[in-house]
Chain A
Amino acid sequence: MTSRTIFAACASGLLLLTGACGGSEQGTSEGDVGDATTTSDVTTMTGLSAVAPWARPADAGKNTAVYLELANTRPEGDSLTGVRSAAAERTELHESVMEGETMRMRPMIGVALPSGGRIVFRPMGPHVMLLRLRDPLVPGDTVEVTFDFASGRSLAVRAGVRAP
């Protein structure tokens, strides 16, 4: 019981320490590229967070989509200017739109992310499009995409691949 308590205390201390270090790093790494903490569920950096990212499986050479929610909790607004990924030949922001009975896709450029605002990338809507995948994506893989903002900040996000 005692050893368990000590272990718990140490673990909490370690977590707090890690959190504190992460915080100070975030404070100084503003504007750095691809220097964000990444997890499969929530990624936060300098007030930008990515929630529940995931990607669809697809064959090499084909295209696929990454979905997630981006939120800006800073007092200043920002704007998403681009996205990149080493997993594909090209990476773009697209939106699926229905026009009459026809489904089309159009590129998204300069998406505003106001203070307190969010962008939801979801099936049949806005999505990160990975064009010509270098390797196949199969369930269980992860794929990294980095979002670039007008402020110079970047957010690297690791998305798990899963069949919806």
Chain B
Amino acid sequence: MRPLVVITLLVLSIVGCAERPWHGIVRSPADPAPALVLAGAADLPVTRIRLDSFRGEVVVLYFGYTHCPDVCPTTLADWARAKRALGADTTGIRWIFVSVDPTRDSPAEAHGYARQFDPAFSGTAPTDAELALLLKDWAIAAYPEGDPRTPDYTVAHPAYTFVVDADGRFRLMIPPGVRADDIADDLRRLR
């Protein structure tokens, strides 16, 4: 009996020491996040984004577009649920939706769109030049599909939610479909 107790304790201690798994994909090494500087709308300061000005806060980022019928609203609705799961105290987390469709989205429009999901969310849209730079810096793809001269083209865009920690390091990529409670769990650990 005694050896069994010892083995059980040993196993429990090993399990206890093992790091709890993350729900998002952990970037290793966690390099400093690329720059993200967007001029925003002159009359709407909240749409002006300088990622390095948010040091000390966890920044949750999504690159989508406001005409997106399925994936973007599903993701932002998951964010809203994750925010609710974090409870009353959601300070220290900034939620930003960045449009990658500057042809149709203005910074104000992207901001209004994000706020439909939670009033604490903010949104913005880059200029064409800012978009080209952010796609390069973040090594991500976003491009129109269909005829961009018509109103009904769609936009291919990054599938993941990107999370930058309070030290400005690009720490996590959260795939679509991760449950809101699990998103909240990851963010709680980073805050």
Contact = CB atoms under 8 A, between A and B. Distances in A.
B160 interface: yes
B157 A102 contact: yes
A56 B73 contact: yes
B158 A94 contact: no
B176 A103 contact: yes
Contacts of B51: none
B159 A63 contact: no
B77 A63 contact: no
Interface in A105-135: 105, 123-124, 127, 129-132
Contacts, number: 73
Contacts of A130: 69
Given A56-B69, A63-B67, A123-B74, A104 B145 contact: yes
B67 A164 contact: no
Contact of A102 (B73, B74, B141): B141
Judged by DSSP, the binding face of B is loop
Given A98-B176, A103-B176, A104-B145, A65 B159 contact: no
Contact of B69 (A98, A99, A129, A163): A129
Interface in A43-95: 56-58, 62-65, 89-90, 94
Interface in B147-191: 151-152, 154, 156-160, 173, 176-177
Judged by DSSP, the binding face of A is strand
A143 B40 CA distance: 35
A34 B152 CA distance: 26
B157 to A, nearest CB: 6
Nearest to B112: A59
Contacts of A94: 69-70, 154
Given A56-B69, A124-B71, A164-B77, A105 B158 contact: no
B152 A132 contact: yes
A103 B145 contact: no
A89 B150 CA distance: 13
A96 interface: yes
Given A90-B152, A103-B176, A127 B69 contact: yes
A25 to B, nearest CB: 34
Contacts of B159: 98, 101-103
A94 B145 CA distance: 13
Given A90-B152, A98-B176, A127-B69, A164 B141 contact: no
B68 interface: yes
B158 A64 contact: no
Contact of B66 (A62, A89, A102, A163): A62
21 contacts: A57-B116, A58-B73, A63-B67, A90-B152, A96-B70, A101-B158, A101-B159, A101-B173, A102-B142, A102-B157, A103-B71, A103-B157, A103-B158, A103-B159, A105-B70, A105-B154, A124-B70, A124-B177, A127-B69, A127-B70, A164-B73
Interface of A: 56-58, 62-65, 89-90, 94, 96, 98-99, 101-105, 123-124, 127, 129-132, 163-164
Given A94-B154, A103-B176, A129-B69, 4 more contacts: A63-B67, A98-B159, A101-B158, A105-B145
